[in-house]
Chain A
Amino acid sequence: MNDSNEVIHKDLLRQPSTIALVGNPNTGKSTIFNALTGLRQKIANYPGITVERKMGTTIINGVLHKMIDLPGAYSLNHRKADERITYETLIGSYDHEEKPDLLLLVVDASNLERNLFLASQVLDLQIPTLMVLTMSDIAEERSIKIKSEQLSTAWGVPVISINARSKNCEAQIKKALVEQGVATPEPFQWKPTAPLKKAVERMDEEWLSKYTQLPDRARPIEALRLLSEGRLEDSFYQYTEEGKAKKLIEELQNVLEAEGENPTATEVVQRYQYIGESTENSVTKVQSSQQTWTDRLDNVLTHRVAGPFIFVLVLLIMFQSIFSWATPFMDMIDMLFIEFGAFVGSSLPAGLLNSLLVDGVIAGLGGVVIFLPQIIFLFLFIYFLEGTGYMARAAFVMDGFMTKVGLHGRSVVPLMSGFACAIPGIMATRTIENWRDRLITIMILPFMACSARLPVYAVMIAAFVPDKQVIGFLTLQGLVFFGLYLFGIVMAIGSAAVMKQIFSTGKPTPFLMELPSYKWPNIGSIVIQSLERGKIFVTEAGKIIVAISIVLWFLASFPKYEPTASNLANTDANEQQQSEQQLSEQMLSTLQLNQSYAGTFGQLIEPAIEPLGFDWKIGIGLLTSFAAREVLVGTLNTIYSIEETEEQLGLIERLRNEKDPETGLPKYTLATALSLMIFFAIAMQCMSTLAIVKRETNSWKWPLVMFGYMTVLAYFSAWVTYEIANTFLLG
């Protein structure tokens, strides 16, 4: 079975080593990674970019090995950030990653030719490799039979066939690593033509080895890329002597052309040619006109008319399930944290530490954990749909509609999740490969009216929008409610169109989306990945959320209100007679909030928000509701000393009755309410969203841009709303 040039290593695994998984997307690579590492994973962003680095450990024969799941790639021609990481890690020139000692090269048996293209490039790098064939069951369904021995001979590395979705996938791979071992392949097994080989050698000798720091094994691949594309500026390396390189590339390209080879195409064509030859010997294909499962399902699921309807139905089922499953967990978490806060509050002596722990830390932690049910349930669905292959179909069906508004077919699911909560939605944009499309989707996602806006809308509509019927069963209150949702969507589409223009400066990446075969996914792997998402949220965004919670607590709690001091001097004599004990608890918290830094902030920004119809009390709410939009209602309750028992109705009454001290007219009107609701529909009033944007874009730049543009948009929309409402409604 072994060719003479095949050097089998079986001793590599006796000491701790770094094993990298490399392969095309949709090959079951991540399933293998999850099977081998389980929950012993660490996912983080690579420094400075948004590509995720997946690390883990696995034990083979009692030795602990490091595992890296490299980003799925179709080619090593490293144009996209994730492919570049894969390439640079493989050649060992990436500072933030260890050079892998051996590779598991994952190849989809049902899609052998295109998978072998990347494989042929990876094998050129001469790293000890075991080739792992997956999806052989799908291949068999298509009457494709692969002879592993022949394939192994053709490519110079051991080949095993596994079912990544079966339970013993982990054992199969470990056994193969121990028994069959790995082999260091020879470069250029795809037998490049003499002129191409000569050109690569000259490129290497005359320039790459002289003027670059590239490791030996990377130079042939880099030479091939330069010869085919001739673009030095696309390179991620700092080259010196560029002039010389350009001259040499041009000369070699001319030589190739004189030999009748098209320099741009020749490498890819020759690789595919050898792939064709190698599979001819190792694959038996029975030509059959029989439709596969994938064909039959696609006839329905991607049907021009039925396809979009089915997708909407899938979304409906998905969000309804997430809603009904997540709600009890969220209520439970909410209750647990309130109970825990009350417990800590009553068991510690009253004072600063007590307040910091209860209102700052515990409330902040509760604000983090509360998101977990939604995140985990959404990702269970997303990974399931992704794993079955349906997600790519949804993108295919929706892409035509979405490109019209400057988005991507894959933007739909994240945007729809935004109606529940922007945070899982923003995390879900990771399914969008193209960075520009992904960024635009993230930047407009908070316009989707999330559930935290509901309490704000509910109070304002109940207090100020007349409860009258418009047409049939439609009420004015219902229409305003609907209008607010619609307004968010319109703002999202408009902003996406503008951002498409702004961000279109770079070269667009081509849209070449694979529609993988339908399959039943590995449920264990889906559960692991969803839990990992939850872990990422808690560990990475959670820190920021708790920190901001403490800052907000500080702003609302300091300076401390002292009832006996001069604060009471300017209230009337009757009140002054009241002792500290006689002041009701509600009154105390009202006075505390009003003269805190948050209160000062409210008064400070009052002139700025007056044109929107807001006073300083709402100003305080704008600051405190940065913790979460629904906090606005709680803050107004505190400001107006509303008893907990009569919360909503009490507040509605209070808001209606608030009088302007100068004119004696009602302070808040329908115009104020509309303006405030429009403000909340658009403004980035959510620290948790900003924290997750920071995590997902791996920089503070985008959350700050988001906060800035949304606040400006919200301000002007609210102002225009207030003016129009005042002119037309009250005129």
Chain B
Amino acid sequence: MLLSDAAIEQTYQVKQIHGDEVVRIMEMGLTPGSICVVIRRAPMGYPMEIKIRGYLLSLRKKETDAVEVVPV
């Protein structure tokens, strides 16, 4: 499933990154195998806030669409 479809307060494992910005997204710590928790969504639905490698990161829809995750 895609990170954009992930539920709040759930934990996921990153499977794969797709699209043009693979390296950029992975450099921020979202490498395959890493664990992230979806914290919340902003008032209009996006950006989405996640916790990854102990810090908080926000992503817009386009970026969450590029991240494939599996629930843990």
Determine whether the beta carbon of A396 is less than 8 Å from that of B27.
Answer: no
Stretch among A93-101, A145-153, A506-514, A592-600 lining the B interface: A506-514
Which of B1-44 touch A at CB < 8 Å?
17, 20-29, 31-32, 34, 39-44
Residues of A contacting B41 in the complex (Cβ-Cβ under 8 angstroms): 304
Residues of B contacting A514 in the complex (Cβ-Cβ under 8 angstroms): 55-58
Residue numbers of A with Cβ under 8 A of B are 74-75, 77, 79, 110-114, 117, 142, 144, 228-229, 264-265, 268-269, 272, 294, 298, 302, 304-305, 307-308, 392, 396-397, 399-401, 403-404, 409, 507-508, 510-517
Residues of B contacting A400 in the complex (Cβ-Cβ under 8 angstroms): 42-47
Determine whether the beta carbon of B20 is less than 8 Å from that of A114.
Answer: no
Select from chain A the residue with minimum beta-carbon distance to B60. A511
B44 to chain A, nearest CB (A): 3
Residues of A contacting B28 in the complex (Cβ-Cβ under 8 angstroms): 74, 114, 512
Q: Which of B23, B40, B43, B63 contacts A264 (CB 8 A)?
A: B23
Residues of B contacting A515 in the complex (Cβ-Cβ under 8 angstroms): 49, 55-58
Determine whether the beta carbon of B55 is less than 8 Å from that of A513.
Answer: no
Determine whether the beta carbon of B43 is less than 8 Å from that of A304.
Answer: yes
Residues of B contacting A75 in the complex (Cβ-Cβ under 8 angstroms): 24, 27
Bound Cα distance from A512 to B40, whole angstroms:
15
A727 to chain B, nearest CB (A): 41
Q: Which of A114, A298, A308 contacts B53 (CB 8 A)?
A: A114
Residue numbers of B with Cβ under 8 A of A are 17, 20-29, 31-32, 34, 39-47, 49, 53-60, 62-63
Determine whether the beta carbon of B55 is less than 8 Å from that of A396.
Answer: no
Residues of B contacting A298 in the complex (Cβ-Cβ under 8 angstroms): 39-40, 56
Determine whether the beta carbon of B60 is less than 8 Å from that of A113.
Answer: no
Supplied contacts A228-B23, A517-B56, 16 more A-B pairs, CB within 8 Å: A75-B27, A264-B22, A265-B32, A272-B29, A294-B56, A298-B39, A298-B40, A298-B56, A396-B47, A510-B24, A510-B63, A511-B60, A511-B62, A512-B28, A513-B47, A514-B56
Select from chain B the residue with minimum beta-carbon distance to A270. B31
Determine whether the beta carbon of A112 is less than 8 Å from that of B54.
Answer: yes
Determine whether the beta carbon of A269 is less than 8 Å from that of B32.
Answer: yes
A395 to chain B, nearest CB (A): 8
Counting from the closest, the 5 A-B pairs by CB-CB distance are A400-B44, A515-B56, A511-B60, A113-B53, A268-B26
Determine whether the beta carbon of B42 is less than 8 Å from that of A113.
Answer: no
Residues of B contacting A401 in the complex (Cβ-Cβ under 8 angstroms): 43-44
Residues of B contacting A511 in the complex (Cβ-Cβ under 8 angstroms): 47, 58-60, 62-63
